[in-house]
Amino acid sequence: MKVTVETPATVANLGCGFDCFGLALPVYNTITLEETIMPGSGIEINILDNDSDNIPRDKNNIVYKAIELLYNYIGQTPAELKINIKTGIPVARGMGSSASVIVGGLIAANELLGHPADNDVLLSIATEIEGHPDNVTPAFFGGMTIAEVEDTGSVTYRKLPWPKNWKITMCIPDFELATDISRSVLPDNVPMKDAIYNLRRSAMFVEAVYTQDEDLMKLAMTDRLHQPYRMKLVPGLNSIMEGLKHTEGVLGCTLAGAGPSIAIISNGKNIDEINEIVETNWNNINVNSIIHTYTIEDKGARKI
């Protein structure tokens, strides 16, 4: 039996919603999982369309680890499996590439096993591996999501009705930034006033999405918990954010997840001007980039 699952890219945090906000984009990774019929053939992992040598092809692969946890959940151990990972999402760019393949692997394995786990269990396993639910939740369900891990390990989440005309411009530089490096610069403790600041902005963000309030969103897309500390890891980020601050149509500019990509939320106006500001600032410091503008992906992971 062979199962193929397509899972979207995601952008987490969105400024104020550190480790809890996320949304899905129409860029995809594809996982194909196949039970092999040759006894003793073991686990075969193939990475397609990616020249990175840093992705493990053995049992250290994050997709295999996710599948193994699901098998363990039902009291089994994966034996003969062929795993093909087709990567359409840039790696180490803040677009949820790891969350995407984790979710895809779990859904494919659950299909092979006859659906022993419901979505809540799969989401809990994915969050355990990823470490936080902000990327895996929109990867599963699409759209804009808020998610939190409870003490029991279960994940509480909700989808928000993202305004149809609000666009996401992804600015992807030609360098990688590993999540563990990006997290290493964050402090263990933050000032109370900064925590309160982000609580207020998060409430504004949710209200702005529900009411499609562009002026409120411009206030909500600011942060004091992670972006100030990560600025130094992304050359040009500060100048790009300053350049876009008063550009018509821009509702907010934020580091995409842990970076180094930049996500710009707009009402769809002045896309060419937005692109030019980003390109000019990065070209001035010899950073090449790819820039795409997307509508949100509302469907999430699906079997194809």
Q: Which residues pair with 207 in a beta bridge?
A: none
Least confident residue range of 5-9, 58-62, 239-243, 250-254 = 58-62
Selection from 34, 49, 20 nearest residue 206 by Cα: 20
The answer to whether residue 40 scores a pLDDT higher than 80 is no
Within 8 A by CB and 6+ apart from 171, the residues are 240, 261, 262, 263, 264, 278, 282, 289, 290, 291
The answer to whether residue 50 scores a pLDDT higher than 70 is no
In this structure, which amino acid lies at residue 179? Answer: T
Same fold, 2-160 and 167-294: no
Q: Give residue limits of the domains in the chain.
A: 2-160, 167-294
Task: Kindly tell me the number of DSSP H helices and DSSP E strands found in the chain.
Answer: 10, 11
Locus of tokens 């009705």: 161
pLDDT reported for residue 47: 87
What is the residue-wise DSSP string for 39-75?
A: TT--EEEEEES---S-S-SSTTSHHHHHHHHHHHHTT
Distance of CA 49 to the CA centre of its chain: 19
Least confident residue range of 45-59, 91-105, 211-225 = 45-59
The answer to whether residue 214 scores a pLDDT higher than 80 is yes
Cα dihedral angle (297, 245, 247, 179), rounded to 10 degrees? -30
pLDDT reported for residue 48: 83
- Predicted confidence band at 38 (pLDDT cuts at 50, 70, 90)? low
Distance CA 63, CA 254 (A): 29
Structure tokens at 200: 């207020």
Burial of 143 (0-12, 13-18, 19+ CB in 10 A): buried
pLDDT reported for residue 54: 72
The answer to whether residue 57 scores a pLDDT higher than 90 is no
pLDDT reported for residue 266: 97
Superfamily of domain 167-294: GHMP kinase, C-terminal domain (3.30.70.890)
- Predicted confidence band at 51 (pLDDT cuts at 50, 70, 90)? low
pLDDT reported for residue 286: 95
Is CATH 3.30.230.10 correct for 2-160? yes
pLDDT in tens, 140-170: 999 999 999 999 989 999 999 999 999 999 9
Within 8 A by CB and 6+ apart from 24, the residues are 8, 9, 10, 138, 139, 141, 142, 143, 296, 297, 298, 300
Least confident residue range of 21-25, 52-56, 106-110, 146-150 = 52-56
Q: pTM here? A: 0.93
CB 205 within 8 A of CB 14: yes
pLDDT reported for residue 92: 87
pLDDT in tens, 245-291: 889 999 999 999 999 999 999 999 999 999 999 999 999 999 999 99
The answer to whether residue 304 scores a pLDDT higher than 80 is yes
User: Can you tell me whether residue 25 is helix, strand or coil?
Assistant: strand
The answer to whether residue 77 scores a pLDDT higher than 90 is no
CA torsion through residues 262, 215, 222, 124, sign: negative
